[in-house]
Amino acid sequence: MKTLPIQLLLLFSLLLVIYSCEKEDSIIEQENRLKTVALEDAQAFLSQSWKKNSSGSGNSFITSISEEINYEDITNTDEELAVIPVTTTYKHLQSRIALLEIDGEVQSVVVSLKPFEHSTPGNFSGELLITDIKGNFIKAFKVENNILVIEYIIKNKIYKNYYEDLDKNSSYNSNAKSCEDFAGTEWCIDGEEVIVTAYLPTPYVSLSHMYPTGGGGEESNCEVGCDNNWNPSGGGGGDANLNPEPEPESENCPEGFYQNLEGECIEILPCNTNDEILDSAALQAAFADIWEQSGALNTDIPMESRLEEGGWIVENSGRFGFIPFDSSWSRTPCGINPPANWASTIPDNIVGYVHTHPFYLGEDRRSICQQAEAEYQGGPSDDDYFLLMAIASEVGNFNILGFVIDGEQITSFDFTRTENMQNFNRCGY
């Protein structure tokens, strides 16, 4: 009878050894399925993709590929992810191709991030979109303070491209009546489900999300946290600034103020505008685009190389969209001159118009703008206002709004000229 405990102990030990071996085999098996894409293979893959793209036989989703290839860690394996900064048709997103060899085949996805205004280095908050290299949707998440908090259920495309399709006036999917688009893309959020990944200290994304056809799996016999993950905001070089530094506040100004070119302390306006037009993700993306096209991303850019840009703001079934002014309209750093038939280009569903002033408060633009003031003051001019009134007269709707984007703020105005004029923080776009 005395040997029974010893026998039981031996049996338990044997079971433990067998279990451990099985688990190790499983991890080894898993690891064997994943392999780092060799540098030359990655280069060949990218070259091939780019050739297809350039020849038109591929897709136009990726618009440029960096020559830089970085290798970044994957949890629970020695294999690494080959990561290449790219730009896509979603210019406002920070995108990278992630390459991994799975079962002997190079798999690719594009991981795109849109940091929120409050995102900081080391503490990412924003939206994360995973697509294939043709732009087809795979996964979408919301990240708050490094934690994936929401996985979006996205089924419909709202419209293919707010530039092209809105122009064709055939833009909206009938299923998109009440849905919000994701991260300024054409993807329509159908629903969302709360997910919990709080055990991970940074915004790790499981490879099973990135490569659903065989990427790193969650082992059924594995403890929580031992699947293969990648931290898309974890650096590893590249061009993407995933956590933009907030504008430094001037030491000469009190908290909540910044110093403009004239040394004046300007109040930093709240980011949440509560303006339904300005809070529309699609329009924020459009505004970011026209500001980028204006070529005034900073004060070092010569004023003569900047251009005013703009377009129509439209609404369809409660959703806002943007149509740029026709490219034939004459643009200068100081204005936009529509042609004589300008009124015929007003879309039926117009709710406003927006244009940029590619200047920063206090800049002296007298050398390039006729009769301009010594210091740029911001806000709409009489010409801007009278265009609004002319539009309102044409469409018989005096609720049309005007928006002016400059280097520091967005100003909205209506038919009352200055009475209802409001200035908004640009909130990063």
Partner 1 sequence: MKGITFISIMLISFSVYSQTDKTNACSPERPYGKFKIERFLTFHESDYRQKSGTSNEKTSQIQLVSDSKACKALRIFIAENKTYKEFDQKISNEEIIYFYETSNFFYVFWDYKPEFFRPRMGPPRPFLVVNKDFTQSWNFRL
Residue 152 burial class via C-beta count within 10 angstroms: exposed 0-12, middle 13-18, buried 19 and up: buried
- Residue span binding partner 1 (CB under 8 A) among the ranges 204-212, 246-254, 257-265, 370-378: 370-378
373: contact with partner 1 by CB under 8 A? yes
Structure tokens at 52: 């297809």
54: contact with partner 1 by CB under 8 A? no
Binders in 387-406 for partner 1, by CB under 8 A: 387, 389-391
What is the C-alpha to C-alpha distance for residues 365 and 31, in angstroms, rounded to an integer? 61
327: contact with partner 1 by CB under 8 A? no
- Residue span binding partner 1 (CB under 8 A) among the ranges 123-131, 145-153, 275-283, 386-394: 386-394
Among 47, 272, 377, 399, binds partner 1 (CB under 8 A): 377
Rg (CA), the chain: 26
Q: Per residue in 23-59, is it b (16+ CB within 10 Å) or e — as a string?
A: eeeebeebbebbbbbeeeebeebbeebeeebeeeebe
Phi, psi of 263 (to 5 degrees): 80, 10
- Residue span binding partner 1 (CB under 8 A) among the ranges 70-78, 83-91, 174-182, 382-390: 382-390
- Residue span binding partner 1 (CB under 8 A) among the ranges 84-92, 179-187, 271-279, 362-370: 362-370
271: contact with partner 1 by CB under 8 A? no
Structure tokens at 353: 């118009």
365: contact with partner 1 by CB under 8 A? yes
Binders in 341-360 for partner 1, by CB under 8 A: 342, 355, 357
Q: Could you tell me the smallest distance in angstroms from the CB atom of residue 97 to partner 1?
A: 39
186: contact with partner 1 by CB under 8 A? no
| C-alpha torsion sign, points 111, 116, 117, 122 | negative
Q: Could you tell me the smallest distance in angstroms from the CB atom of residue 380 to partner 1?
A: 8
What is the C-alpha to C-alpha distance for residues 366 and 368, in angstroms, rounded to an integer? 5
Among 135, 310, 321, 362, binds partner 1 (CB under 8 A): 310
**Partner residues linked to 141 by β-bridges:** 128, 151
Among 3, 248, 371, 396, binds partner 1 (CB under 8 A): 371
- Given a contact cutoff of 8 angstroms between Cβ atoms, the answer to whether 65 and 58 are in contact is no
Give SS3 for 159: coil
Binders in 279-308 for partner 1, by CB under 8 A: 308
Give me the residues that bind partner 1 (CB under 8 A), please: 308, 310, 334-338, 340, 342, 355, 357, 365, 369-373, 377, 381-387, 389-391, 416-419
